[in-house]
Amino acid sequence: MPTALITGASSGLGAEYAHQLAGKGADLVLVGRDRVALEEVAARLRGRVEVEVLRADLLRGRDRGRVEARLADEDRPIDVLINNAGFGLPLAFETNDIEDEAGHLALHVEVPMRLTHAALGPMLARGRGRILNVASVAAFMPRSTYGASKGWLVSFSRWANAVYTPRGVTVTAVCPGYTHTNFHERLGLPPGEEGIPAWMWLDARTVVSQSLADVARGKAVSVPTWRYRMLTALVRVLPDALAFRLGMRGR
């Protein structure tokens, strides 16, 4: 059976990817900072599939190096890499701590770049593999450094998918909209207090199932649900000033 390595696997979209991939028979390597939370996810899935827990803070070079080594292990091949780890910051860049911003940039850009590089060699040698980079619809609108970092992921994934698909490896950027996870709670925003209308909220199961279907089709960019596909198409043609105001909604 294939094996999938998922970063940020202890909760939210990462945990949902683990559940849905296990349902398809994939063995799992769960990566995250919280070993207890990872073990809780693993306990629900063991018995159905093989589950390995790899505790790592991806902003620490030594920890990240262990994940890169696991991806490059030809004796225990990784068939699917899901770069999901991330966090948000307030949109007011000028008042954010610059070290927090640097870590934010590293986790959203440098880390998936390094892990993709580590996974690509063995995948290309085998002539098969899938890489999924969790981006955001914020990639298509001016939205402080979060949108900028997700924009990099989308651009890189589009390029990589075109280059590596003929060699058997697909790369997909998944761009969900507002999704019910604990992402916003970590920003100190209780559910319902983000100023976002109810119709814009998505369920994690829907995001994951639709994105996995797009990954199977080899799509370079996956925008789950028609409402967000329409929204991203609209944002691309809006004047910057109007797109900026739209991007300031929520946090």
228 is a catalytic site residue:
no
DSSP codes of every residue in 111-150: HHHHHHHHHHHHHHHHT-EEEEEE--GGGGS-BHHHHHHH
Contact 119, 41 (CB under 8 A): no
3-state DSSP assignment of residue 92: coil
For residue 64, the number of C-alpha atoms closer than 13 Å in the C-beta half-sphere is: 17
Contact 68, 114 (CB under 8 A): yes
| DSSP H or E segment with residue 67 | helix 61-72
DSSP 8-class letter at 7 = E
Which amino acid is located at 111 in the chain? V
Tokens 């790369």, located at residue: 171
Considering only CA atoms, which of 164, 152, 2 is closest in space to residue 86?
A: 152
Considering only CA atoms, which of 198, 190, 188, 179 is closest in space to residue 84?
A: 179
146, 164, 178, 228: the active-site residue: 146
Largest CA distance in the chain: 53
- Cβ count near 105 (within 10 Å): 16
Q: What angle do CA 170, 110, 150 make, to 5 degrees?
A: 65
Mind telling me the catalytic residues?
146
